[in-house]
């Protein structure tokens, strides 16, 4: 069984994951900012408190999703680097073996 992995493409996927995560964070921050504005406009009311609670809940949830996305991107990069290093070591070993067999 053979597994072929294009480490450069895997690294690009990791970069893309990070970029999309940063874009999502920007959008979420904008939405949460609007929640904060709405909560401030309703300060001292049950509605304002509910908006603040909802905002905090979503902020916590999305922070966790962001953290997990970045961990996944790092794991992809680690895999790509491991494969790249293995390929380089295998190439060096094969070249050394060829030199001995000549």
Asked, for residue 4, whether it belongs to a domain, the answer is no
> Residue 96 has which token pair?
């050394």
> Which residues of the chain fall below pLDDT 50?
none
Of the chain, the end-to-end C-alpha distance in Å amounts to: 30
> Looking at the domain assignment, is residue 37 inside a domain?
yes
pLDDT confidence of residue 97:
87
pLDDT of residue 4: 80
- pTM higher than 0.85, yes or no? no
pLDDT per residue as tens digits for the range 5-23: 898 999 999 999 999 999 9
Residue 100 lies in a domain: no
In a domain, 85, yes or no: yes
Query: What local confidence, expressed as pLDDT, does residue 37 receive?
Result: 94
> Residue 80 and residue 34: Cα distance in Å, rounded?
40
- Predicted pLDDT at 98: 87
- Residue 34 inside a domain? The answer is yes
Q: Which domain holds residue 61?
A: 29-93
Number of compact structural domains in the chain: 1
In the block, residue with structure tokens 């979420």:
28
């Amino acid at each position: 069984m053979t597994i072929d992995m294009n480490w450069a493409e895997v690294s690009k996927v990791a970069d893309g994951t990070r970029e999309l995560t940063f874009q999502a964070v920007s959008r979420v921050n904008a939405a949460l900012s609007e929640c904060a504005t709405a909560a401030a406009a309703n300060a001292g009311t049950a509605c304002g408190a509910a908006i603040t609670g909802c905002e905090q809940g979503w902020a916590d949830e999305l922070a966790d999703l962001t953290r997990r996305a970045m961990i996944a991107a790092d794991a992809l990069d680690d895999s790509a680097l491991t494969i790249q290093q293995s390929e380089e070591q295998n190439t060096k070993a094969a070249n050394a073996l060829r030199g001995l067999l000549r």
